[in-house]
Amino acid sequence: MATLERSVTPQRKPLPGDQLHVIGHGPAVLLEAVLSGSDIAAYKVRYPDGTQDSVAPDQALICEKKDRSASRMSQGSGCDSQGLGQDRSERNDRAEPLMQRGVSGSSQPPLSASPRGPRQLEYLGRAFDDERRSIATPSATFSLVATMVGGGVLSLPFAMSQCGLVLGTGCLMLSAVGSAWTLSMLVDCARATGRDSFELVGHAAYGEFSRKGTIALVFIICWLTKIAYFVLLTDLMVPVAELCVPALQSLTPAAVRRVVVCVAAVLLSPMCFKSSLSSLRFMCFASVGSVIVVGCVVGLRAIENFGIGHQIQVQMPNHTNRVVEVSPSYNLWPADWAKALYVFPTFGVSFLCHFNALPTHQELARPTRSRMRRVILVTLTLTSLIYLFVSVCGYLFAGCYTCGNVLLNFSSDDSLITVARAALSLVLMLNFPLICQPCRNALFRLLNGAGCLKAAEPPHQESQQDSSGSFSMEIVATSDPQLALSPESREPSREPPREPREPREPAVGLTRSRTPPASPPQAQAQVHVYLRQDTRGGRGQPSGPDTNAVQVFDTFLPKEEAMQQGALEPTKLQRIVMTTLLLGTSLLVSCVMRSIMVVWAVIGSTVSFLIAFILPAMFWYKVVGPTARPWRRHMALALVAFCTVMSCICFVLACLNLDEPPCPTKGLTAEA
């Protein structure tokens, strides 16, 4: 056979720095090969936590980087056990069962070196057939859609008005494509490392500094989002409060806003002090529903007034309202390019769901690459359509006077708009504690890591405890990146475990479990290893009930402390003090903010660029990049460079527009 003739080509001996997978221990770096005569007696390896060990050759799966032209012409595996210095002809019978089981006459790409293990191996923190993987593709899609859409959609019409219909639509689509790309990057990193959270993927890429930096980003984005929520609640509740309590109209507009936001803070504060928010785990449904109601009402009013002059409401810088006449004229391109750059980050913020993508991947049933890719594509498509409809309709209704919160353009006596305001206000108030909890936890972890605070003794919990060593972050509604329930609040599936297929014959020298083990009940993170060809999915892959079970290649307990440490919890006193501090500071800052666009501009130009685009690309370049094609590595670096430049430009513009009024007032100030 041609395969055997080509397979006699000798390969180089293993060199220090080669990546390998140690059976039962996971990825490691080869330090040296210990020789006994001319044979390899053992490999001295270093694990990711820095510990060193000597392993027998038959327990090490070592890979080499291959020339791509030779790789396309060869068959079999580029990874072998029991030493790499031997001729392939002596080991062909061992390598063939590993990569060509059940494959006849097909060419399989060889395994190549990878920073976290062989390229053709995939690492899942939760077993492929784990009974807790009970979320179907539609449910996973809805979860991510609910993560994105929220109060931030009210600012997209303003962004569209400043960019024009053509450029605005292009920026929206560009942000969607970029988000889909970086979400796929995160999934690639997770499957190359066995990490199931944004924080731990960062730790796998750049170590402890990256993990702490991610925690700091969570704190910053949650705190800024709380400020945005207070501003949104004020904009939405003031017209409703004045209808319900006419006496408020005797106060100045600024005084009314302060009274309303303080009352809202008092009403929602009891929930913010709770340590568990499992009763609010279904708020994502209400969030999506309220956004759909708002979109339908705005669309209805836009259709009624399309092509004709009509009156709208504009809020002045002193928060008094004026009625202006709007003509049916619309811009296709920006009238002011500086303003277009100023609002550009708003589109990126609207697709921010990167903290929630990996927890969704962790709970997705049968998490093949094709299924997760389908979830991401459908999610971004549906969300883009919702955003495009609301932003275009809002701009068509209000024209050049579109406000940073489009509902400010509607009169307070519009009954449908009043219903939409009340519904969205209620949802935002119930979602607010879901932001407060991860914000408080992130602050506590930062202070605990700096030695300023001591953690409480963790209570004993069963298998519902997240074993990843990081607080899972789920953004529940938005464009505004709020975070939601941790895994403690989710009910585990009570379905019986799926029955696995009969395993195939393992390769010589490599051990495999007969059944896919479920994640252990104890608070230890176990990583499950699979062959990539078994978890790829898509066309040409077997389908049916038997495909739910995929054979486990190996399992191991990760050695890094970040993967094994339990979740840290503050004491009751610490929780009360930190919650009060966070509520008070965010409330005070919101009282001096005149426009919600100021908050979105700051979030979008800083942490949003980092979380949604820059960091995922950097993680991917470090973890997956060494084994990817050069043009993909270059594209990732180009994305990092472009987003870094745009972030700096947009941040400068955000600082220059900190006094941005709630609505455009060009030509109206002199008449005020």
Q: Which residues of 154-171 are buried (b: 16+ CB within 10 A; e: fewer)?
A: bbbbbbbbbbbbebbbeb
Which distant-in-sequence residues (6+ apart) come within 8 Å of 426 by Cβ? 286, 290
Mean of the per-residue pLDDT values of the chain: 78
The predicted structure's pLDDT at residue 113: 43
Model confidence at 56: pLDDT above 60: yes
Kindly report which listed range (589-598, 626-635, 662-671) carries the lowest average pLDDT score.
662-671
Model confidence at 307: pLDDT above 90: no
Going by the DSSP 8-state scheme, the letter that residue 280 receives in this structure is G
- Indicate the angle between helix axes 253-272 and 208-244, nearest 10 degrees: 130
Model confidence at 663: pLDDT above 70: yes
Model confidence at 540: pLDDT above 70: no
pLDDT, tens digit, 9 for 90 and up, residues 556-589: 888 777 665 556 688 889 999 999 999 999 999 9
Kindly report which listed range (25-34, 100-109, 225-234, 537-546) carries the lowest average pLDDT score.
100-109
Taking the C-alpha atoms of 380, 384, 386 and 391 in order, what is their torsion angle to the nearest 10 degrees?
150
pLDDT band, very low/low/confident/very high, at 13 (cuts 50, 70, 90) = low
At 460, list the tokens: 């004993």
Model confidence at 188: pLDDT above 60: yes
The predicted structure's pLDDT at residue 69: 41
From the list 148, 202, 140, 204, the residue with the least C-alpha distance to 179 is: 148
Pairwise CA distance, residues 229 & 152, whole Å: 9
Pairwise CA distance, residues 230 & 428, whole Å: 9
Section 191-206 average pLDDT: 90
Starting at the edge strand that comes first in sequence, how are the strands of the sheet with 26-36 ordered? 52-55, 39-46, 26-36, 19-22, 60-63, 79-80
Amino acid identity of residue 199, one-letter, is E
The predicted structure's pLDDT at residue 570: 85
How far is the CA of 291 from the CAs of 91, 296, 402, in angstroms?
Answer: 61, 9, 18
Amino acid identity of residue 164, one-letter, is G
Kindly report which listed range (7-11, 274-278, 368-372) carries the lowest average pLDDT score.
7-11
Q: Is this model's pTM higher than 0.75 or not?
A: yes
Which distant-in-sequence residues (6+ apart) come within 8 Å of 566 by Cβ? 458, 465, 469, 523
Pairwise CA distance, residues 168 & 393, whole Å: 13
Which distant-in-sequence residues (6+ apart) come within 8 Å of 661 by Cβ? 315, 316, 317, 594, 595
Pairwise CA distance, residues 496 & 612, whole Å: 37
- Tell me which residue has tokens 């990760």: 558
From the list 405, 390, 427, 180, the residue with the least C-alpha distance to 301 is: 390
pLDDT, tens digit, 9 for 90 and up, residues 316-346: 988 889 999 998 889 999 999 999 999 999 9
Pairwise CA distance, residues 598 & 226, whole Å: 13
Residue 479 phi, psi dihedral angles, 5° rounding: -65, -35
pLDDT band, very low/low/confident/very high, at 64 (cuts 50, 70, 90) = very low
pLDDT, tens digit, 9 for 90 and up, residues 409-425: 999 889 999 999 998 99
pLDDT band, very low/low/confident/very high, at 594 (cuts 50, 70, 90) = confident
